[in-house]
Amino acid sequence: MRKGQLTMSQAVTVLQAKSIFTPFREIRDGFMALSSGKIVALGSGACQPRGEHVATVDFSGYTIVPGFIDLHHHGAMGHRASDGSMEALQAIAEFLPSTGTTGWLPTVNDLASCRAIRDFARQNVNGAKPLGIHLEGPFLAPKNLPGTEYEVPIKADIEVFDELYDASGGLVRLVGIAPELEGALELIAHMRDCGVVPACAHTKADHALWLRAVDAGLQHVTHTYNVMTGLHHRRPGVVGGALTTDCVTCELIGDGFHVSPVAIDILIRCKGIDNIVVITDSVRYAGLPDGQYDEVTKKAGIIRRVGFDESVDGSMAGSAWTMDHNVRYLVQDVGLSLADVLRMTSTVPARIAGFADSKGSLQVGKDADFTILDENLEIVATFASGKQVFART
C-alpha cells in the first residue's frame, strides 16, 4: 500500500475522473469514493482507496461536478409541479437528472400543490429530490399587460401563508412577494420568523419601498431584472436596490434570453458570485419540441403567449431552457469560469434553501449528488445520493 493511500472495509464505489470541481478547487486526475449515498473520500489518483470492498468506475475522460440545484422550477415534459399528482411530480423528477439537476424546489402557489409535494417528498424519489417548496404566489402584483383582463391586487394575508405552510408540512423554503401589496411588510417579517426566505417578486415597488421591505426581513430577489422596476439614474427601483443591498441574494435566469450578457456582468460585479443563484424558471414545456401549446408558443426555448409580437412586447411567459444549457451559456458565451458557474448552480442555492451542510459541494460527509460532464459540458451521467439516475445513451 502506498503512503497516504486509504483502505476501505465497507462497500465503496470509487469514480476516477480527468477532473473534479468541488467547486472551490479543481482536482486533476481525481477520484471520489462513495458509500451509503455519501462521499467518503476525495483526492488525487495516488491516494485512491484500495481493498476487496472497493469497486472502481472509470470516468477518466470526463469532469465530475456538484449536482445542480434549481430553486425555481415549474415543470417539464408537459407536466406542472402544480398539477397536484404523484405522476406529474415523478415525471419531472425523472427528467431533471438528464439536465444535471439533482435537487429542486417545485414552484407552485396553492394548497393542493403543497399537499401533493409534501406527500411526494416523503417517498423514495427516483430522480431529482424535491428539497422543499418555492411559492411564487399567491402574493404577487398582477402584471396587467396590455390586451389582458385587469387583475385587482390581493392582500398579503398571514393566515393564507400559514395555511400554505401547514399544508406543505413545513416544506416551504422560499416565497415570492410584492412589497406593495397590503400587509406585505408584516408578512415578510412573519415568514422570517417561520424560517422561510422572503423574496421580492413580480413587483412595481419603488426603491423607497424596497428599503422598507429589506428592513422588514426581505432576503432574496426572484429572477432579477425580470418583472420588477428597473434601474434609472433618478429612480433606482427594485433593480437598483437588488444591486446595492449586500444582505440580499439574487436569482438569475441564465438562459441567454431573459437577461443580456452586460446585465449579467453588472449583476456579478455588484453582488459577487456567492450571492447569485442561477435558475431556470422552467415551465412544463421544457423537454418538449418547439411548437404551439395551448395559448403559448415555444420557440428557441422561450415561451411567449400566442398573439404577442416579440418585436413590440418582449414579455415572456417563462423559459424551457434547462440548467445544463444555462451552465454552457454562462461558460461558453458569457466567459465565466466553470468553477464560478458551479457555485451559482449548486453551492449558493444549497445555502439559500438551507442545505449547505449536506448538499451543494463535493466534500467528505456530504450527499453524493453530482453530475459528469464531457469536454463540451454536456451531461454524461448524473448521480443522486450515490445512485445513478441518468446515463447518456
Note the pLDDT tens digit of each residue in 114-167.
999 999 999 988 999 999 999 999 999 988 766 677 788 899 999 999 999 999
Torsion sign, CA atoms 356, 318, 326, 393: positive
Look at residue 2 in the predicted model and tell me its pLDDT.
Answer: 43
Look at residue 308 in the predicted model and tell me its pLDDT.
Answer: 62
Q: Answer whether the bond into residue 349 is a cis peptide, omega within 30°.
A: no
> What b/e sequence results for 59-89 when a residue is b if at least 16 CB atoms lie within 10 Å of its CB, and e otherwise?
beebbbbbbbbbbbbbbbbebbbbbbeeebb
- For residue 253, give the nearest of 230, 229, 274, 224 by alpha carbon: 224
Q: Percent of the chain at pLDDT above 70?
A: 95
Q: Exposed/middle/buried for 189, CB within 10 Å: 0-12, 13-18, 19+?
A: middle
Whether residue 311 is predicted with pLDDT greater than 60 in this model: the reply is no
CATH class assigned to 68-353: alpha beta
Q: Exposed/middle/buried for 263, CB within 10 Å: 0-12, 13-18, 19+?
A: middle
Query: Which element (helix H / strand E) includes 13?
Result: strand 12-21
Whether residue 88 is predicted with pLDDT greater than 60 in this model: the reply is yes
Cell of 362: 463535493
Return d(Cα 64, Cα 374) in angstroms, integer.
Answer: 9
Look at residue 304 in the predicted model and tell me its pLDDT.
Answer: 87
Domains 12-66+366-391 and 68-353 share a fold: no
Task: Give residue limits of the domains in the chain.
Answer: 12-66+366-391, 68-353
Whether residue 82 is predicted with pLDDT greater than 80 in this model: the reply is yes
Look at residue 150 in the predicted model and tell me its pLDDT.
Answer: 77
Whether residue 234 is predicted with pLDDT greater than 60 in this model: the reply is yes
Look at residue 145 in the predicted model and tell me its pLDDT.
Answer: 67
**In the predicted model, what is the mean pLDDT of the chain?**
93
Tens-place pLDDT, residues 190-214: 999 999 999 999 999 999 999 999 9
Whether residue 310 is predicted with pLDDT greater than 70 in this model: the reply is no
Look at residue 237 in the predicted model and tell me its pLDDT.
Answer: 98
Torsion of CA 232, 233, 234, 239, to 10 degrees: 40
151/329: higher pLDDT: 329
User: Using the 8-state DSSP alphabet, how is residue 50 labeled?
Assistant: B
Longest dimension (CA), the chain: 74
* Domain 12-66+366-391 CATH assignment equals 1.10.760.10: no
Task: Give mean pLDDT, residues 94-106.
Answer: 98
Residue 339 near residue 63, CB atoms below 8 Å: no
Residue 136 near residue 70, CB atoms below 8 Å: no
Look at residue 1 in the predicted model and tell me its pLDDT.
Answer: 36
Whether residue 8 is predicted with pLDDT greater than 70 in this model: the reply is no
Give the pLDDT band (50/70/90) at residue 3.
very low
Q: What's the predicted TM-score (pTM) here?
A: 0.94
* Torsion angles phi and psi, residue 209, rounded to 5: -70, -35
Q: Read out DSSP for 142-202?
A: ----TTS---PPPP--HHHHHHHHHHTTS-EEEEEE-TTSTTHHHHHHHHHHTT-EEEE-S
Task: Give mean pLDDT, residues 368-375.
Answer: 98
